[in-house]
Amino acid sequence: MFVMTIKVYIFGEDGFTNNTLVGSLSMLGFDVIGETDNDSVASTMISNHQPDVVVMHLDHERIKALELAQSVRKNFPDMGIVFISKSVDLRLLGVTKKSLPLGVSVVQISKHRDLDFLKFKIHESVAITKNQTVIKPYGGFTDAQIETIRLMAAGNANSEIAKMRYVSEKSVEQMLARIALMLDIPFDHKYNSRVRILNSYYELLNGRSETLAVSFTRGFKRAQEKLERYSLLA
């Protein structure tokens, strides 16, 4: 029985990282036809060689990677696209569903070490219907909560966040209180809750979610119970 070898092209980080990924994918039986960290070179190579799947490091040159992915989907509708990222939730990078082409698969970099999972996601990117997006947000965070955390990480005070989001400062404080509750972080004047929320944000951004899993599960349960009692809305 003839089995078609899937051709893969890599748009990623530095040469060492790309070569490591090339070795891993080759070992899995994929035909890696090239790699680069230059978006212009990648665009030309993809057009000339038309691989079955393009694997992209989203943490490297995020905007260029998204633009390249949109171009691939427009010009080659059936081509698979796999994003690799350290972040457990692409929204933490500022990536929204609107900025993503349809029909992409995402591999968190910690799972990227699991070659069987990576192999599955590459095959998935070829097989999935290209009018759907295979993205799972982390935990129960809303888009508004993620945006608020990102604005806080950019150094904005609550008053500035309120102006940017067209809400009251009290609404921002309520939202941060809910986020802290979900992360099982005490939210009162005895604790620097903003710093602890940001620490959690950077852990999630860099893929270190294991240490937060228990706290998040416990905190999210408490948040649900409290919301049921007080009907706090952000």
Top-ranked range on mean pLDDT: pick from 90-104, 125-139, 180-194: 90-104
pLDDT for 73-110, tens place per residue? 999 999 999 999 888 888 888 888 788 888 888 888 76
Q: At what angle do helices 210-230 and 193-205 cross, to 10 degrees?
A: 130
Q: 148, 126, 124, 153: which is closest to 136 by C-alpha?
A: 124
pTM assigned to the model:
0.76
**CA–CA distance, 157 with 126 (Å, rounded to integer):** 44
Q: Does position 134 have pLDDT exceeding 70, yes or no?
A: no
**Cα dist from 214 to 74, 142, 208, whole Å:** 41, 19, 13
Written as six digits, the tokens of 3 are 């089995």
> Between vectors from CA 140 to CA 126 and to CA 212, what angle results, nearest 5°?
95
Q: Does position 221 have pLDDT exceeding 60, yes or no?
A: no
pLDDT at 7 (0 to 100): 95
Instruction: Determine the 3-state secondary structure of 110 from DSSP.
Output: helix
Lay out the sheet containing 7-11: strands in order across. 31-36, 7-11, 53-57, 80-85, 104-108
Q: Does position 176 have pLDDT exceeding 80, yes or no?
A: yes
DSSP 61: S
pLDDT for 61-72, tens place per residue? 788 999 999 999
Banded pLDDT at 31 (limits 50, 70, 90): very high
| Domains of the chain, earliest start first | 7-127 (3.40.50.2300), 143-230 (1.10.10)
β-strand partners of 16: none
